[in-house]
Structure 1
Amino acid sequence: MDEDTSPAPVQNTSRLKDVSHLTDVIALSAEVPLQQVTKPHSQRYISDLTTYSLKDLLAEPTILQTQSHHLTSSLTSLTHTSYPTFLSLHQTTNALTTSLTSLSSSLDSLLTSSLPALEECAAGWKDRTETVLKERSKARVVLEQHEKIRDLLEIPLLIDTCVRNGYFAEALSLVSHAKALAANASASNKSSPLILSSVLSEVHHSIMQMLLSLLSTLYEPNRKLPALWKAVNFLRKMDVFGPSSPFASAPPHLTSLIALPESEKVSESIDDSISSEEQIALAFLVGRESCLKSTLEPCGSDISRMTNHGELDDREKEDLARYLKKYIDFWREGVYDVITQYSSIFLEKSSAPNSQQSNKPRQLDSPTTSSESEIIQGWARLHTLITTYGSRALTAYLLPTLSPSLPLLSMSLLPSLLTQLTYCSSAFARVGLDFRGILSALFSHAVTEIVSQELRTAGDKFSARFKIPSGPSSSNTRTINGASRSNKWEPPTDWLVTPATAALPPVPVTPATPAVAGFTHSPPHIPPQILAAYPPLAEHANALLGVLNGLRLLAPTSILHALSAVLDDAVLAPGGRAVHAYVKAFCRAQDNGSGVRRSMDGEDGGADGDERERRVIMAFGQVYFGILVPFMRRALVEGVYGIKLDASFEVASDALPTSVMDWEDYVLEQTEQSDESSNES
């Protein structure tokens, strides 16, 4: 190996003072930021490097790397061993920074806002303390008058307690005490204190509650005279309808419930002068009428339901009569209680001063004083109220219920209702409400409607049996001996007369026209025996007599002519026209040769059979017009009413006489034709 002959490095001990050029070279070659190289400690290090030898310079990186590893491991160890200290130091530093920032902000706020506000508050301290002192002075006065104020504030509460428990006299005493305190305060000061105004407002509210409680007593159905007397007396003491009260004028909802008739309405000036007593009486009547209405409504709704149902059967009529009896009892009890209670509360009290005055000796020529005149006038007006109420109770509740209901009943149910209403009217006559005169017209109308309807029903049923066949193709089917046979006309011997008298049918010996006039000497209540030979006439007579027997239970004399007109024009005359038309059509059919079944066994009797059928049907007509018509008219007029039916009895119309005369003309015509045929033969 060759030995190294290079000269040994020479130690340069000189130090460069200006290393700026070297700094630029290092920064460009090492790509180190210039700021890092230009730091003071970096400049000192670079200056120290200029004193190193080449060997030291070459060893410097290794040394630096070794030191870096050593420092890194030392820092790592320090970090692992002292990391809580670092964390605490970091938190403390952050807290200190925040505290310093907050302190700076607080100091700024103190300097900019708090200190000027403090200066301003200090400047206005005197004004504010004066207001506070005044308020404290008022509070001290309130504390000094605490007992009196507490007593004053407890007045509304005590009034409410008294009203709830029914101690109305004590409540009125407290009201008077509160008003006296307010009057004394108003007399001493120009304006009353606000606390007194507030207390009086609460007292007014409590008094309104008391008023409502007293008025509600008048609307309670089960209240008797003592409770009502107490309520009215306290209403008088309260003077709620006096001139200074807001209830001085009659409320519209009170005056509308009790409507006066046109003849009893007063003028506007008189209405304005209605006294407090009259308004209390009006409120009493309205309250008790409300109770009466609530009592009658359940039974009245049942009656309305049945009257709107239409035609009623016998069971429904009995139910309706039972409802009417119950309704009448409720009405009687309710209205009688109202009238007697009103008389005891208002009329006796109002008439007391008058009676005291009347007990004093007074000369006949001495004039009546104004006070006596006012007392008499007030009593008369109070009496007018109760009479008007009685008339209203009769016309608004009883009569509207009875008028549509009575005509729907049967005749057997009317007498008991009339008896009940008669006793009711007799009881009300003691208090000045006798309505027996109304009952006469009411029941007369009901009897007329019921009897007329029953008579028309019986007449229509009878007339319906004489329907004329409409044409040659029509047939009428009847069952004879179990066999059904059809033909155009039914033989009169099969259904107009009994088999025993079919060969020689009985006929009346008196003409028809006098019978219509009512001239006969037979008993009016016993049907003629000849009617038994003609089943249709016997059934018709029984139906009409059944109606007249029901009429005997209640037969008003005022409706005789109306019933007679119904019997003549709606029953006997239409039945006579139906019989006449049927007989005439039957005879015409015989003359034209139409087939008629002759006998029960179906055999044709020839000319003798036709003559027998004609004789039977003509006899049937003669009995109807000559016997049944006059008997039924006498059964109504003489048998029921006991009035002689003669030529002077007024006939309602010419319908029945015309029908009878038409039949007589037809009989004469048939007789003449028969005589002519006999002469020709």
Structure 2
Amino acid sequence: MPVEQGSSEGVSLDNPIILPQITTAEFDELLSFLYHQWTPPPDRTERLVALLRLGNLYQIDDAKEFAITSLSTHPTVHPSLRLQLSREYSLDDWLAPAFTRLMVLPLASLSEEDVNRLGLFAYSVLAKAKETVEAHRKSVAQSFPIVHLPYRHPNCYKSWKSTWFVNPSLGSTLELRDIIYRWTEVGQILLHFPWTSWHDAMSRVAGAEMAGVCESCKPRYAHEVGEQAKSLPASLSHSPTGVLMGDDSSTLVDLLRSSEAARNSGALDDKQTPSYLSHLASLPLKELLAEPTKLSSEAAVLTTSLTQLCLNEYPTFLSLHDTSSVLSTSFDSISDSLDTLLSSIPAIENEARDFASGTKQIQEERRKANVVLEQQEKLIDILEIPRLVDTCVRNGYYQEALDLSSHTKLLLRRFPDIPMIHDVALETEQGVRLMNIQLLSSLREPLKLPALFKAVNFLRRMKVFEEEELALIFLTSRYAYVTGLLGSVEGERHDPTKYLRRYIDIWREGIFDIATQFRTIFIEASDEEVPFTLERLFSLSMHNALDSLLKTCEGVLPRIDDPTSLTSILTQLSYCSSSFSRIGMDFRPLLAPLFENAVIHIISTSVQDATARLTSQIAEAGKLRKQPSSWLLSEGAQVRRDIPANSSAHAPPAHVTTYPPLAHYLNALITTLNNVRLLAPTSILEELLDIFDKSLAECAQSFVEYSKIIVSGDPSEGRRSTDGKGQEREEEILFCAGRVYIRSIVPFVREGLVVRVYEASVAEVDAVCGSSKLVRRTLDEWDEWMQSHLNLDL
């Protein structure tokens, strides 16, 4: 609502707008009506009065009409309230019924609130009206209706008169002049019966008991009373309220017309008579006595004026007489001309027939042209149908386009012989084909289920494809859309982890949407039994989509060298499979081979790298004939033949740090084992153990070759070189390093994989694993060589 400039009302809840003319309860009732708060009928009177008041104040027509309609039929609205509302809101239809009801009610029954509603003026009018009606009833009760019958029996008439004034139980012995007016049966009817009009009262009187009246006179008296009741003045025949509010002049006119002189003269038939008589009825007695003199003087003045007019305007009257004579002569001439015209009409009719036959073809063409002109708007509507269809299709109003197409087909069936209809139908069909193309294209767009459902329903209504064909088109289109989304991440193939994660997310969302959309649109929406073809199509499409995912994983997983990323991808795929299990497509069993191969690839690569580093170091030392102390032993370390016990079963042996190349190799293998712990499929234990055993055997074989070079100087010679104490120390280092490798590194690595990662038994695994024999054979060869050349037992 508008607020005065500078006023702070209405800016916050603490300072609302004040409406001084309206109470809170009234405004609440208006809000409950405006916001359709339903209440059981009948509504409270206070609510309806509030709606009427505020509806009238704010010009809310709905509220005002609702209040007026409800109050009109409300059973508990007091007539004083109806009268007050009719006066305040100009409800004229309520005024007479409300006042009539108040006339019936005793004044003592009106409460102080009712009197306040009426006001002093209305209350005084009501009191005067009730007093007038009461006096009128009493006067009527004393009036005897004179019955004018051509033949009446004196005794019957006397009995009829006695019936009117005297109760029949008093007998007929009383003389008429000695009768004292008393309350009789008729008086009771007139004074106490709740009659609604004077006619009603007179009719009931006519039906009263008539003692002493013969059977032949009784219907005559009854008929005469009824006729007199019908001919009574209007002011006496209305209800009490009509007597109060009626026109006294009408009553006076009716009384005057009942006289024989007035009926013969017809002087009272003038429309101004009632108004003049009303004026007479309102004059005081003095002015009424002076009225005849006033009328006589006015009549004399009018007569004098009329005479003067004739004297002053006599030329006009003479001119009027001449004009009338000329007009009469003209009428005679016109009559002769009409006779001539009538005699020539037959010839004119013949000419008209000849003209009509000669212009028949022209009239037919004009008729056709007129028909075309009359139907121009309809023809234009038909010709604009193709353009409207094209516009609707291009703007996405497919429902309207189909309605127009159906209308065109109906026209074609009704008018198959009209070329224009055929042309319109062909052009409309082109628009429908464009619509078909657009709907098929929309299936390849990023639409949600409601839009896709709508598009498929439109395609169904077009009846271009069978249900199976439409289902295949839907699956193909949606899969093409998902394929496009998957192709958008091809630029991230350089990072296989990120690429595969995004690929899985897009595939999961896209394929799951396809599955739910297909089932909702084609399977669940069908009331009939779902054809096997649809189920087969759905199954094949899901298998095809799953094959694409598995092939992608198979190609990308080997490129991931981080076991942590591999674990997160497996978790992501597991969640994806769990979500697809709701539609019967749990593919978790198919993931195991992919990740087993990926784990084997990662472990094999890591172990091969560690093996390659150690064997390359050993090969380089042998090629350059480096002494073990120069590269195998850490600086300042002491060589110990005994191997100290390991402080922890899970920690690597600390004495390996004496030989850095072996320590680096062991650290690489331990890192690989830690990676295996994150994702360790039990089915590949033997393969992993074979990888580690081959690495251990290869490194041991390289160590043996290096030892042969250092000890004999020539790997082809089998004899020991003697270079003094230095040579003995180098051989000692070789011996101790080989002892650490065989007694510490090899058992720790194999137990770390079998026991600590897989929690299995080394003996049981060796029983079924062939790689353990390779390790044992290599170690035995090394031990045999040591005994034969160094006379040492590992």
TM-score range normalised by the length of the shorter chain: 0.5 to 0.7
Partners of 2:366 and 2:616 in 1: CA distance: 108
SS across alignment from 1:525:
coil
Distance in 2 (CA, whole Å) between partners of 1:164 and 1:282 is 25
Residue 475 of structure 2, aligned match among 255, 275, 285: 285
TM value normalised by structure 2: 0.50
Aligned to 1:402: 553
Deviations 1:461-498 (A, max 9, x none): 0101112678xxx7x4xxxxxxxxxxxx3222233234
2:786 pairs with 1:664:
no
C-alpha distance in 1, partners of 2:792/2:643? 21
Q: Are 2:383 and 2:424, in contact at CA under 8 Å, matched by a contact in 1? A: yes
Deviation at 1:194, TM superposition (A): 2.6
**Which residues of structure 2 form unaligned runs of 5+?**
1-361
Tell me if structure 1 keeps the 8 A contact 2:471–2:522. Answer: yes
- 2:463 paired with 1:214: no
Determine if contact 1:468/1:582 at 8 Å carries over to the other structure.
Answer: no
Instruction: Please tell me the residue identity of whatever aligns with 2:616.
Output: A
Q: CA deviation at 1:541?
A: 0.7
Cα separation, 1, equivalents of 2:675 and 2:485: 34
For residue 534 of structure 1, what is the aligned residue in structure 2? 659
Q: 1:661 to 1:394 in 2, by over 3 A?
A: same
Q: 1:620 to 1:348 in 2, by over 3 A?
A: same
Does residue 625 (structure 1) correspond to residue 742 (structure 2)? The answer is yes
In structure 2, which of residues 513, 518, 527 is the aligned counterpart of residue 337 of structure 1?
Answer: 513
Do 1:524 and 1:635's aligned partners in 2 also have CA atoms closer than 8 Å? no
1:622 and 1:462 map into 2 onto residues whose CA distance is 17
In the aligned structure 1, how far is the partner of 2:394 from the partner of 2:714?
96
Secondary structure, counterpart of 2:779 in structure 1: helix
Structure 2 CA distance for aligned equivalents of residues 450 and 673 of structure 1 = 39
What is the correspondence of 1:456-467 to structure 2 with a 5 Å cutoff? 456-467=608-619
Partner Cα distance (1:626, 1:561) in 2: 22
Q: Is the 8 A contact 2:580 2:586 kept in 1?
A: yes
Alignment of 1:32-43 (within 5 A): none
Q: For residues 155 and 593 of structure 1, do their structure 2 counterparts lie closer, same or farther at Cα, with a shift above 3 Å needed?
A: closer
Give CA-to-partner distance per residue, 1:505-527, whole Å, 9 cap, x none.
32559xxxxxxxxxx99965332
Whole-Å Cα distance in 2 between the matches of residues 594 and 494 of structure 1? 23
User: Could you report, residue by residue, the CA deviation over 1:537-576 in whole angstroms, capped at 9, with x for unpaired residues?
Assistant: 112111110111111111111111111111112x111111
Match of 2:668 in 1: 543
What is the CA-CA distance between 1:655 and the residue it aligns to? 3.4
Q: Does 1:234 align with 2:458?
A: yes
Give the structure 2 partner of residue 326 of structure 1: 502
Q: What code does the residue aligned with 1:283 have?
A: I
Mark the CA change 1:529 to 1:138 in structure 2 (over 3 Å): closer, same or farther: same
Q: Is the 8 A contact 1:182 1:196 kept in 2?
A: yes
How far the C-alpha of 1:278 sits from its partner, in A, is: 1.4
DSSP-derived class of the 1:465 partner: helix
User: Any idea what the Cα deviations from partners look like across 1:168-192, whole Å, max 9, x if unmatched?
Assistant: 2222222222212222333xxxxx3
Q: Give the TM-score of the pair, scaled to structure 1.
A: 0.58
Is residue 492–residue 498 contact of structure 2 (8 Å, CA) maintained in 1? no
Residue 440 of structure 1: CA displacement?
Answer: 1.6
In structure 2, relative to structure 1, the CA distance for the partners of 1:633 and 1:463 (3 Å cut) is same
- Give the match for residue 401 of structure 2: 171
Q: Deviations over 1:637-663 (max 9, x none)?
A: 112111110165323345323322221
Match of 1:394, SS state, is helix
* Pairwise CA distance, 1:411: 1.2
Distance 1:593 1:671 in 2: 12
Corresponding residue SS for 2:610: helix
Aligned to 1:575: 699
The residue that corresponds to 1:36 in the other structure is none
The corresponding residue for 1:434 is 586
Q: Aligned with 2:391: secondary structure?
A: helix
Q: CA deviation at 1:324?
A: 2.4
Cα displacement (A) at 1:195: 2.0
Answer whether contact 2:731 2:790 (CA < 8 A) is retained.
no
Indicate the larger mover: 293-302 or 145-154: 145-154
Task: State the secondary structure of the residue aligned to 1:288.
Answer: helix
What is the aligned partner in structure 2 of residue 97 from structure 1?
none
Does the C-alpha gap of structure 1 residues 522 and 498 become closer, same or farther in structure 2, counting only changes over 3 Å? same
Deviation digits for residues 292-350 of structure 1 (CA, Å, limit 9, x no counterpart): 122121213322xx2xxxxxxxxxxxx43233222222221111111111111111112
Code of the residue aligned with 1:490 in structure 2: it is: K
Paired residues of 1:218 and 1:288 also in contact (CA < 8 A): yes
Note the C-alpha offset of 1:236. 0.9
Task: Give the letter for the 2:606 counterpart.
Answer: E
Q: Distance in 1 between matches of 2:382 and 2:658?
A: 103
Change (3 A) 1:579 1:595: closer
How far apart in 1 are the matches of 2:484 and 2:667?
47
| 1:55-204 → structure 2 map (5 Å cutoff) | 146-186=376-416, 192-204=417-429
Contact 2:627–2:710 at 8 Å: present in 1 too?
Answer: no
Q: What residue number does 1:585 align with?
A: 709
**1:636 aligns to what?**
753
- Residue 627 of structure 2 aligns with which residue? 491
C-alpha separation in 1, matches of 2:635 and 2:392: 94
> Cα distance, 1:668 vs. partner?
2.7
Secondary structure of the structure 2 residue equivalent to 1:490? coil
Q: 1:179 and 1:468, CA in 2 relative to 1: closer, same or farther beyond 3 A?
A: closer
CA contact (8 A) 2:711 2:720 kept: no
Residue 450 (1) aligns with residue 576 (2): no
Superposed CA deviations along residues 256-310 of structure 1, whole A, max 9, x for unmatched, are xxxxxxxxxxxxxxxxxxxx1111111111221122122121213322xx2xxxx
Shift of 1:671: 5.0
Q: Is the 8 A contact 2:444 2:481 kept in 1?
A: yes
- Give, as a single letter, the amino acid of the residue that structure 1 aligns with 2:500: L
* Deviation (angstroms), 1:449: 0.5
2-structure distance, mates of 1:240, 1:450: 54
Match of 1:646 in 2: 763
Does structure 1 conserve the Cα–Cα contact (< 8 Å) formed by 2:436 and 2:459?
yes
Q: Percent identity?
A: 39
Partner Cα separation in structure 2 for residue 634 and residue 324 of structure 1:
34
Q: Distance in 2 between matches of 1:464 and 1:135?
A: 111
Take 2:646 and 2:690, find their aligned partners in 1: how far apart are those partners? 23
CA contact (8 A) 2:720 2:789 kept: no
Structure number with the bigger relative contact order (C-alpha 8 A, sep ≥ 6) is 1
AA aligned opposite 1:632: V
Higher deviation after alignment, 203-212 or 628-637? 628-637
1:614 aligns with 2:731: yes
Distance 1:392 1:279, change over 3 A: same
CA distance in 2, matches of 1:393, 1:442: 17
**Paired residues of 2:392 and 2:401 also in contact (CA < 8 A):** yes
Give the CA RMSD over aligned residues. 3.3
User: Residue 539 and residue 521 in structure 1: after superposition, are their counterparts in 2 closer, same or farther (change >3 A)?
Assistant: closer
Give the secondary-structure state (helix, strand or coil) at the position aligned to 1:430.
Answer: helix
TM-superposed CA distance for 1:137, in Å, is 10
Q: Distance in 2 between matches of 1:198 and 1:225?
A: 38
User: CA deviation digits over 1:98-124, x for unaligned, max 9?
Assistant: xxxxxxxxxxxxxxxxxxxxxxxxxxx
Question: Cα 1:501–1:469, aligned 2, differ >3 Å: closer, same or farther?
Answer: closer
AA at the equivalent of 2:477: G
2:735 and 2:567 map into 1 onto residues whose CA distance is 43
- Letter paired with 1:162: C
Shift of 1:534: 2.1
Distance 2:785 2:394 in 1: 92
> Are residues 673 and 300 of structure 1, via their aligned partners in 2, closer, same or farther at CA, if it must alter by over 3 Å?
closer
